[in-house]
Amino acid sequence: MEDVDPPREVAGAADTILRQLEAHGLHWDEPVLYQSQRLEAYREALEHLRRQCLIFPCRCPRARLRSLGGVYDGLCRQTELSGELSVSDTAIRLVCLEQVINWQDLIRGACQTDLGTEVGDFIVRRRDGLIAYQLAVSVDDAYQNITHVIRGDDLLSSTPKQIHILQLLGQKTPDYGHIPVIQDSRGYKLSKQSFAPAIDSTTPASNLYQCLSLLGLAPPRELSGSSCEVLLQWAIPRWQRALLPSAPIRVNSLESGSKKPPGE
Ligand SMILES: [Zn+2]
């Protein structure tokens, strides 16, 4: 549970997510791991990277960072990281030299990113002292012995960063597979930012039925009134990566999500 960003968290959201999963018949096989309980592990990972001289403090003003167009130029790389692990108001970046990360994505096939030219030294601890998402999830994937990361392709650009962190920490990398995300009619992914309504947990079976269709499984019509358990039992042996759509999934109005964004 990614709860290391208190300023952006909605009270009760973590619990809502778990209840939504349960409502849809989706269960987890180990206790839920909360990132807010893992700060010591993230600090140890930073120490590990510091000992290899792979992280450095960066106090570049935002305006300068904006002028770089997203790829950090390494200006602060020579600055020594002394007490900054505990100091706030300083971002900590990970050195990314010319280094090509290759991986075989289970869904998208061969992928390649040049960290030096396409990503640049990226942030592993934020200026406000909070641990960056990339570091936290990598450390947690290793800790939980995750073998497969299957997620939306909006996170594709995170993958080379996470592989890089895991390699530097001497950990195995999981297999990754990125599924096209559902977009609204304007091409935005369904999210809080695009004012998509929350999933309606009062209609879990019809939500699942719709998702199975979008995933290319073509569930028969007679299954449309079935329970979540029946739908999942039908779907699991029929799941095939080859059936997934290769482009973003556009929907004009999802059955349970047809509310219009404010102002439209
Ligand atoms: Zn800097």
Measured in angstroms, how far is the CA atom of residue 55 from the centroid of ligand 1?
A: 12
Measured in angstroms, how far is the CA atom of residue 64 from the centroid of ligand 1?
A: 9
Q: How many CA atoms lie within 13 A of 39 on its CB side?
A: 10
Q: Say yes or no to pLDDT of 156 above 90.
A: yes
Residue 30 in any domain: the answer is no
**Can you spell out the DSSP letters for 172-236?**
PPPEEEEEPPEE-TTS-BSSTTTTPPPP-TT-HHHHHHHHHHHTT----GGGTT--HHHHHHHHG
User: Which of 126, 155, 179 is the last residue in one of the domains?
Assistant: 179
CATH number, domain containing residue 136: 3.40.50.620
Measured in angstroms, how far is the CA atom of residue 169 from the centroid of ligand 1?
A: 23
What pLDDT does 52 receive?
A: 92
Are residues 47 and 169 located together in one domain of the fold?
yes
Those residues whose C-beta lies under 8 Å from the C-beta of residue 20, and which sit 6 or more positions away, are 199, 201
Give the count of domains, the chain: 2
Are residues 49 and 167 located together in one domain of the fold?
yes
Measured in angstroms, how far is the CA atom of residue 142 from the centroid of ligand 1?
A: 29
Are residues 122 and 49 located together in one domain of the fold?
yes
Residue 91 in any domain: the answer is yes
29-43, 123-137, 156-170, 236-250: the lowest-pLDDT one? 236-250
Are residues 174 and 187 located together in one domain of the fold?
no
**236: nearest Cα among 76, 74, 25:** 25
What pLDDT does 92 receive?
A: 95
Q: Residue 223 in contact with residue 231, Cβ under 8 Å?
A: yes
Measured in angstroms, how far is the CA atom of residue 74 from the centroid of ligand 1?
A: 7
User: pLDDT, tens digit, for every residue of 178-231?
Assistant: 999 888 888 888 888 888 888 899 999 999 999 999 999 999 999 999 999 999
Q: Residue 157 in contact with residue 133, Cβ under 8 Å?
A: no
> How far is the CA of 254 from the CAs of 13, 78, 202, in angstroms?
22, 51, 15
Measured in angstroms, how far is the CA atom of residue 59 from the centroid of ligand 1?
A: 5
Measured in angstroms, how far is the CA atom of residue 251 from the centroid of ligand 1?
A: 41
At 55, list the tokens.
Answer: 């992280």
Range of the domain at 144: 38-179
Measured in angstroms, how far is the CA atom of residue 89 from the centroid of ligand 1?
A: 12
∠ Cα 225 226 232 (to 5°):
140
Residue 107 in any domain: the answer is yes
Higher pLDDT, 259 or 28: 28
What pLDDT does 10 receive?
A: 81
Tell me the residue length of the chain.
264
Measured in angstroms, how far is the CA atom of residue 37 from the centroid of ligand 1?
A: 29
Residue 139 in any domain: the answer is yes
Task: Give the whole-angstrom CA distance, residue 57 versus residue 90.
Answer: 6
Q: Say yes or no to pLDDT of 258 above 80.
A: no
User: pLDDT, tens digit, for every residue of 223-232?
Assistant: 999 999 999 9
Are residues 159 and 85 located together in one domain of the fold?
yes
Are residues 65 and 172 located together in one domain of the fold?
yes
What pLDDT does 122 receive?
A: 96
Measured in angstroms, how far is the CA atom of residue 129 from the centroid of ligand 1?
A: 16
Are residues 211 and 228 located together in one domain of the fold?
yes
Are residues 49 and 140 located together in one domain of the fold?
yes
Measured in angstroms, how far is the CA atom of residue 105 from the centroid of ligand 1?
A: 32
User: pLDDT, tens digit, for every residue of 62-75?
Assistant: 999 999 988 999 99
Measured in angstroms, how far is the CA atom of residue 58 from the centroid of ligand 1?
A: 4
Are residues 73 and 173 located together in one domain of the fold?
yes
Measured in angstroms, how far is the CA atom of residue 80 from the centroid of ligand 1?
A: 12
What pLDDT does 259 receive?
A: 42
Are residues 167 and 44 located together in one domain of the fold?
yes
Are residues 233 and 117 located together in one domain of the fold?
no
